[in-house]
Amino acid sequence: MKKIFAILLTLCLAYCGFAQKYSNGLIDKSIAVVGNELITLSDLENEVQMAQFNGGDLGVNPRCTVLENMMQAKLFLMQAKLDSLGVNQETVSAEVTDRIARVRTALGGDEGVEEYFKKPLYKLRTEWMKQMEELSLTQQEQQEIAKKLPEVTPYDVKQYLDTVSKNMLPIIPKKYQYSQICIYPNRDSAATACREKLLSIRQRIINGERFSTLARLYSEDPGSARKGGELGMASHSVFWPAFGDMGMSLKIGTISQIVETPDGFHIIEVLDRKGDMFNARHILLKPEYSDDDRVSAFKRLDTLKARILRDEISFDIAAKIYSEDPATRTNGGQVADPHTGSSYYDIDQIKPQDFKALQTLEVGQLSDPISSVDDEGNEGHLVFKILRLDKIVPAHTATAENDYTELLGNIQAIKRNEAIKAFLKQKIGETYIFIDPLFEECNFSMPEWSSKIAKHQ
């Protein structure tokens, strides 16, 4: 305990000393020069503030961490310019627009953004455009460095396995491979009932009842229901398109017709609008399904399961004929990650309802019918299914026989990081670099930077 306390005290004294020196009435000034690229104190503060807004872990001394990242980026940027790399302005503009939408929504509009960042929004947009352009060039240059690396071969994988300590090899987590046959409840009748209920609520509001009271009573959006359905000032682009379009077109104080989104059905009242932002109340209702829907679907699935177990029909053929999930039925029911195409899932990637059923099965066994959700909307839509556990790969240390692809990716990442580190080390050595002595106590991850800190006069 005494050792831990001593370490913490040392870190605190170092940080507090830095903070006191740093905040001692400094005005904006140049704090680093990397070749012909300049970094000012205000540049650093802007980056720190944005990183903190995004919740980034900046370590014990945030300004040291961010400054090193900025200086590294300048080295990549200089090389990108020498290599005549270009920027896709449409992509950069879209990324800046997205960032502005997020911060405006989080901080309650233009005034909140300007208060937080202490500058007008037009100036932030200009600064962020420049940052995003530089980031694009930096990333492209890193990709150029990676492209020059020789292709990783099976020999490289073998050499890696022969030379690296076993406890340094990646651990492959337990993975599941499974298939499903899905049946949806009667969506049309449930949607009709949901619409009728929402129309009744809308009429009650028009007849004089308070929107906020009915939102607390009926809305199925728990985040806003307790606030009377109010969402707060937000950019229209953060909502589903149909919702955002209605929020921008609706007259303030009027109640919308029913709006359908992947989350369900809404009625909306716009309270305020500024530019492309609005504050609205809404009531969200989701289609409700009766026990009859569940019983009917479970009967169908039970019948299919019995036929499969009697070998009257294979699981794969049954999935292709009877499953109502277009994403899996063409593959004989096999579930695959839509982003990677992999059919192997870590435990935390599997829907909880599905995993609860899978963990009771042996490989090759079929589950009883279960209620689960699909990938639509924010929370998914109700679906009934039976599952087949196809394979379990236990957690294990990576081997060339079973995990060649994972090892290949691991080696590629190592070689890429080594190449980037070598590039930075070379560039630091041959580039004119000046770092203000204000940062002499920084413990940079690459010690080469410390030799560039100016000495006190």
Give the chain's domain count: 3
**Predicted confidence (pLDDT) per residue in 366-418, tens digit:** 999 999 988 887 777 889 999 999 999 999 988 888 888 888 888 999 999 99
Range among 226-235, 296-305, 371-380 rated most confident: 296-305
Given pLDDT bands bounded at 50, 70 and 90, which one contains residue 27? low
Query: 61-65, 125-129, 166-170, 247-251: lowest mean pLDDT where?
Result: 166-170
Q: Evaluate whether residue 75 is within a structural domain.
A: yes
**Which DSSP string do the residues of 146-186 spell out, in sequence order?**
HHTSPPP-HHHHHHHHHHS-GGGSPEEPPEEEEEEEEE---
Domain ends where: 219, 252, 285?
285
213, pLDDT greater than 90? yes
Answer yes or no: do 249 and 140 share one domain: no
Domain ends where: 285, 315, 341?
285
18, pLDDT greater than 70? no
Q: Where are the beta strands (DSSP E) in 300-455?
A: 345-346, 370-373, 382-393, 396-397, 433-435
Q: Evaluate whether residue 160 is within a structural domain.
A: no
Given pLDDT bands bounded at 50, 70 and 90, which one contains residue 1? very low
The domain that contains 32 carries what CATH number? 1.10.4030.10
Strand arrangement, sheet containing 30-34: 37-40, 30-34, 433-435
32's enclosing H/E stretch is strand 30-34
Pair 369, 386: CB distance under 8 Å: yes
Q: Evaluate whether residue 10 is within a structural domain.
A: no
340, pLDDT greater than 80? no
Q: How far apart are CA 417 and CA 422, in angstroms?
A: 9
Strand arrangement, sheet containing 345-346: 345-346, 175-183, 382-393, 370-373
Q: Evaluate whether residue 7 is within a structural domain.
A: no
What is the identity of the amino acid at 233? Answer: M
Q: How far apart are CA 129 and CA 134, in angstroms?
A: 9
Given pLDDT bands bounded at 50, 70 and 90, which one contains residue 131? confident
**How many Cβ atoms are within 10 Å of 162's Cβ, its own excluded?**
7
Q: Evaluate whether residue 13 is within a structural domain.
A: no
Given pLDDT bands bounded at 50, 70 and 90, which one contains residue 456? low
Answer yes or no: do 209 and 231 share one domain: yes
Answer yes or no: do 280 and 294 share one domain: no
Answer yes or no: do 139 and 194 share one domain: no
Give the per-residue pLDDT at 8.
Answer: 35
Q: Is the overall model pTM greater than 0.75, yes or no? A: no
Q: Evaluate whether residue 131 is within a structural domain.
A: yes
- Provide the domain limits for residue 128: 27-150+412-452
Domain ends where: 267, 285, 303?
285
Query: 22-36, 99-113, 318-332: lowest mean pLDDT where?
Result: 22-36
Q: Where are the beta strands (DSSP E) in 201-333?
A: 234-235, 259-261, 264-274, 277-285
Average pLDDT over residues 248-255: 93
Answer yes or no: do 345 and 255 share one domain: no
Answer yes or no: do 54 and 69 share one domain: yes
Q: Determine the Cα angle at 262 with ends 257 and 266, to 5°.
A: 25
320, pLDDT greater than 90? yes
Q: Evaluate whether residue 234 is within a structural domain.
A: yes
Answer yes or no: do 62 and 130 share one domain: yes
Q: How far is CA 377 from CA 82, 227, 263, 265, 374, in A?
A: 46, 22, 5, 12, 9
Answer yes or no: do 66 and 138 share one domain: yes
**Predicted confidence (pLDDT) per residue in 160-210, tens digit:** 888 888 888 888 899 999 999 999 988 888 889 899 999 999 999 999 999
What is the identity of the amino acid at 56? Answer: G
Range among 51-55, 85-89, 118-122, 422-426 rated most confident: 422-426
Give the per-residue pLDDT at 12.
Answer: 41
Answer yes or no: do 324 and 182 share one domain: yes
Q: Determine the Cα angle at 312 with ends 306 and 313, to 5°.
A: 90
Comparing CA positions, the residue from 37, 141, 65, 82 lying closest to residue 423 is 141
Query: What is the chain's percent helix, strand, coil content, to nearest 5?
Result: 55, 15, 30
User: Tokens 């901080």 sit at which residue?
Assistant: 107
Q: How far is CA 228 from CA 204, 218, 221, 269, 379, in A?
A: 15, 10, 10, 11, 21
What is the identity of the amino acid at 281? Answer: R
Q: Evaluate whether residue 457 is within a structural domain.
A: no
Answer yes or no: do 311 and 181 share one domain: yes
288, pLDDT greater than 90? no
Answer yes or no: do 373 and 431 share one domain: no
Range among 105-114, 264-273, 447-456 rated most confident: 264-273
Given pLDDT bands bounded at 50, 70 and 90, which one contains residue 9? very low
The domain that contains 322 carries what CATH number? 3.10.50.40
Answer yes or no: do 419 and 359 share one domain: no
